[in-house]
Structure 1
Amino acid sequence: MFTPLTVAVAVAALALAAWCGLAAYRDQPTKDWHFAGMAVVTVLALAQLVVGIVQLSRGRDADGGSVIFVSYLLGCAAAVPGVGFLSLAERTRWGSATVAAGAVVLAVLQVRLYDVWGGGGA
């Protein structure tokens, strides 16, 4: 796996979580700028999905198993768009809180994805 991309996704997800968490604290729904941030994080997660699939197709295997690795990649790619759609349905502060929670989940998934690939040194 490409570790700098994994770190970039995690950092971008945590920045999005902080930004949307602040909006929830201020009693604001998600706004257009939040969706732009979600798009950036989603593009990074999709790039990670492509890199992971390419690594597997080149014959490299994940220590935790290829099926679990691909499952985590797909979950990472779907985490932020999923909560983004939920925040459209909930146009209150809880929509922003949902995006913040989903972004934290994405950051945690990055740590687990790193471990499944074999970077954790277990």
Structure 2
Amino acid sequence: MIEWLTLLQILVAVVGGAIAVMLGLIGRRPSDLTMAFTGVVALLLIVQLGVAIASPIMGNEPSGSLLEFYIYLISAILIPFGAGFWALLDRSRWSTIILGVACLAVAVMLFRMSQIWFIQGA
């Protein structure tokens, strides 16, 4: 993992999640903005997967369990895709809220992944 990339991912996920939840609470349906934030979160997670595969090869070993880290990462990758699929099927304000909650859940999972990678074994 790269620390600045993880912080960027958390920031994008929190901002996107907060915007989507607020828009959903005022009754807005899923829009290009909320879907774009969810898509960027998913794209950054795929980049993180590539970094997580290459990092141990380059000597950047996690301090915690690599298996636990990958379980979090694969689960986090599935969340925005599932939420985006839901938003495409159900075009209600609740889908916008689900997009926001999905982004916020990914932010929490990224924080935990950073703990596993950087802090856990120390």
| TM-score, normalization by structure 2 | 0.89
Partner AA of 2:85 in structure 1: F
**Unaligned ranges ≥5, structure 1:** none
Q: Corresponding residue for 2:86?
A: 86
Q: Corresponding residue for 1:51?
A: 51
**CA-CA distance at 1:66 after TM superposition:** 1.4
**CA-CA distance at 1:29 after TM superposition:** 1.4
Q: Corresponding residue for 1:68?
A: 68
Cα distance between partner residues in 1 of 2:55 and 2:117: 10
Partner AA of 1:43 in structure 2: L
**CA-CA distance at 1:116 after TM superposition:** 0.8
Q: Deviations over 1:25-49 (max 9, x none)?
A: 1211111232222222211111111
Cα distance between partner residues in 2 of 1:30 and 1:63: 39
Q: Corresponding residue for 1:36?
A: 36
Cα distance between partner residues in 1 of 2:37 and 2:8: 13
Q: Corresponding residue for 2:23?
A: 23
| TM-score, normalization by structure 1 | 0.89
Partner AA of 1:87 in structure 2: A
Question: Residue 27 of structure 1 aligns to a residue in which SS?
Answer: coil
**Unaligned ranges ≥5, structure 2:** none
Cα distance between partner residues in 1 of 2:46 and 2:23: 26
Cα distance between partner residues in 1 of 2:120 and 2:8: 17
Partner AA of 1:77 in structure 2: I
Query: How many percent of aligned residue pairs carry the same amino acid?
Result: 26
Q: Is the 8 A contact 1:14 1:103 kept in 2?
A: yes
**CA-CA distance at 1:59 after TM superposition:** 4.8
Cα distance between partner residues in 1 of 2:58 and 2:103: 30
Q: Is the 8 A contact 1:20 1:100 kept in 2?
A: yes
1:106 maps onto 2:106 in alignment: yes
